[in-house]
Amino acid sequence: MEREMKNHKIKDIKVHLVSQPITGGFADATRKVECIGFTIVRITTEDGIEGFGVTYHEVGGEATKVMIEKNIAPKLIGRSPFETEKLWQEMFGYLRGVGRKGLMFCAYSAIDIALWDLKGRILDMPLYKMFGGTETRIPVYGSGGWTSYTDDELVEEMVGLVKDDGYTTIKFKVGVDGGMSPNRDLVRVQKVREAVGPEIGIMLDANNCWDAATGARFANRVKDLDILFLEEPVFADDMPGLRKYKYSTDLPLATGEHEYTKWGARDLLLHTGADYIQCDGTRAGGFTEMLKIGALTQAFNVKFAPHAMENIHIHLISAFHNAPFLERLKLFEGITENIYLDAPKPVDGYMTIPENMPGLGLELNMDFINEYDEKFE
């Protein structure tokens, strides 16, 4: 208890950028992926305890790093990591004038996750227990299948996720030719369903490529293939379009990965009829905000299915009975293995939270991070 009762103060905050270029033409319906990576934030207390958090570093990671170092970090030095709610409100008030979505929130999301990791390490308690969770074996689905793939490449990757990696649920992209060929998409879904069999769960991601009418028409044609949901059939901010889609088909609607904060989640729940809310804790405000977003999904009796970042979100999934699974992005597997030491991996469609490891239950591979940390002027 002595460790718990100390008046811990934040002494130092460091930010690292690690990324890798993507070659080979990986593209969804609306963009080509050129780079993937992580912005990594490490927060250390005066007594030497360290926690970390992450957000994305694909486009604009340099701006995120500068914002943390120049604007956020100075206001946190000397503060207690246990002030997560108070600090969140202070930073929202301080930063809201420069962006209530986007890079500003990515920056503070990484900070907030690091603060929660730090609290867990100080208390010697894993985050899932701090959130009230009990489950340690969590379902996870494999996510990939780019629209830039040929039909054969798509089928091969999806079959590999099932037969080689052991997933029982998979997700892939629709919206080939920039969303202009939904008939081709239908054929591709049929081919995947035939290849993986009737027992495998399939979900589809349109990456904002259609209008509501096109999305609903496609949904009504593909739903007989036993599809679990269609994700982002229209532009993420087009809430009237999402609502029109929802009222035109009974294929469940998933959305939210591009939404930020509890207010964004509230608007999705009130105005779109979404069945799955997919806010991403490394964008939407960290754990402090995701706990509130999860509670909102429970109040509306819909599914809470955070986007990607499976090693971060696993603790939330444990704590929410309406959270069915994690998402693991195949494209991120390599860099994820590089930045963490011995991070959990899926086995037969499940990931297991490490036993007897506090906070996030993860350790950074600082040799790799220091070697590839990006410097810029």
The conformational region for residue 166 under phi > 0 = left, psi -120 to 50 = alpha, else beta, is left
Residue 205: name the closest of 31, 29, 26 by CA. Answer: 29
Strand (E) or helix (H) holding 337: helix 333-339
Distances, alpha carbon 5 to alpha carbons 1, 36, 123, 251, in Å = 6, 40, 9, 51
Is the separation of the CB atoms in 81 and 51 below 8 Å? yes
Give a three-class secondary structure readout of 77-143: CCCCCCCHHHHHHHHHHHHHHHCCCCHHHHHHHHHHHHHHHHHHHHHCCEHHHHCCCCCCEEEEEEE
Enzyme catalytic residues: 307
Residue 217 burial (CB count, 10 A): 16
How far is residue 85's CA from residue 41's CA, in Å, rounded to a whole number?
19
Within 10 A of 224 (CB to CB), how many other CB atoms are there?
10
Element containing residue 17 per DSSP (H, E): strand 10-21
How far is residue 357 from each of residues 77, 128, 337, 353, measured CA to CA in Å? 26, 11, 18, 9
- Starting from the edge strand earliest in sequence, which strands make up the sheet with 35-45, in order? 10-21, 35-45, 50-56
Residue located via tokens 């629709």 = 174
Which residue is listed with tokens 């609306």? 30
